[in-house]
Structure 1
């Protein structure tokens, strides 16, 4: 079960951004759309990088970005993650949600350096609330194979965090906990801008 798989990067940018009221992948926290910013961060540290998108987003993405279109087999973030796994089943995936405006390349390098390849995944977590952050994580091929079976069983919901809590997950604690901030609403968007100022 030990993995020596290459690490591919995946920007999850296929969500509907309902709470935010605008596409979170297009917010320019760093002068470019967030999905492009994260893609470039992942490209610095991964063997290959892709953007996970919905079919209707295909024409929005420039030719310089590789994409994987969600297959719409599963609900929630697993839709993008497992579509990527199906496309490249032999690799580990460093997954980033596009609602993480404060993540930086140093934190990604630290996560990779802390990788435990015989776990299902290596995830960031907060010390005071040590739950795995499945959308800032390295998912190993075997873990994704098991996640596919978990989702196909259809009895367990569609929460990646719940899956990781109940399986072999290696937790890593970031030096700067702000990097795990999620911005899913207008208020959180304003908080993120304040932290970046």
Structure 2
């Protein structure tokens, strides 16, 4: 397949323990957040999917494409590598469902600054310069290397993998789009920024 092809993946299969309610179902922009991000990625990706757990299937609206987590890996790698296993010959633009301030402008910037020769192109904050693995374009080679990384038992953290890999960092024009809403306090912060 062409290196130009990018599939979109909204990670929404987490248990949302800190939030106390499904983060993907929270409405910030008239739709549940996972659907809002899904439709945003549909505008810029060749195909788009939600990454979900099997018990979430009945919650999926008609017409939404999804990939079930295979439960072969822990944490976010579960969704990312389940998608890679199903479609191994494409790059994946991955967004976590807990990014309430992410917008189309930001997604387009990430795509415009993509470097397919690196293992991934990831957003990063200007100060900490740490790659955001759940707001990134993962190249095929990066996903293959991730599997080896997990088999070797080094770490199950996708950020640690990216920190130690050849990654292209992109600094968003509006850094607030990287706000993660994982708790009630962060939810309230996001709501304030959106009003």
Shared fold (TM-score greater than 0.5)? yes
- 1:126-137 aligned at under 5 Å gives the runs 126-137=125-136
Provide the rounded CA distance (Å) in 1 between the counterparts of 2:125 and 2:166.
18
Q: Does the alignment pair 1:183 with 2:181?
A: yes
Q: Does the alignment pair 1:156 with 2:154?
A: yes
User: 1:157 offset after TM fit, Å?
Assistant: 2.0
Aligned position for 2:36? 37
1:5/1:90 contact within 8 Å kept: no
User: 1:63 offset after TM fit, Å?
Assistant: 2.2
Q: Where does the alignment leave 5 or more consecutive residues of structure 1 unmatched?
A: none
User: 1:140 offset after TM fit, Å?
Assistant: 0.2
Provide the rounded CA distance (Å) in 2 between the counterparts of 1:67 and 1:149.
25
The SS at the match of 1:79 is helix
Aligned position for 1:111? 110
Aligned position for 1:8? 7
Q: Where does the alignment leave 5 or more consecutive residues of structure 2 unmatched?
A: none
TM-score in terms of structure 2 length: 0.98
User: 1:41 offset after TM fit, Å?
Assistant: 0.4
User: 1:156 offset after TM fit, Å?
Assistant: 1.4
User: 1:148 offset after TM fit, Å?
Assistant: 1.0
User: 1:161 offset after TM fit, Å?
Assistant: 0.3
Deviations along 1:127-158, one digit per CA (max 9) or x if unpaired, are 111000000000000110110111122x2121
- 1:57-76 aligned at under 5 Å gives the runs 57-76=56-75
Provide the rounded CA distance (Å) in 2 between the counterparts of 1:148 and 1:89.
12
Q: Does the alignment pair 1:50 with 2:49?
A: yes
Q: Does the alignment pair 1:20 with 2:13?
A: no
Provide the rounded CA distance (Å) in 2 between the counterparts of 1:18 and 1:5.
36
- Write out the 4+ residue segments of structure 1 that deviate beyond 4 Å after TM superposition: none
TM-score in terms of structure 1 length: 0.97
The SS at the match of 1:52 is strand
The SS at the match of 2:129 is strand
Report how many residues are paired: 194
Deviations along 1:44-100, one digit per CA (max 9) or x if unpaired, are 110000000001111110121000000000000000000000000000000000010
RMSD of aligned Cα (Å): 0.8
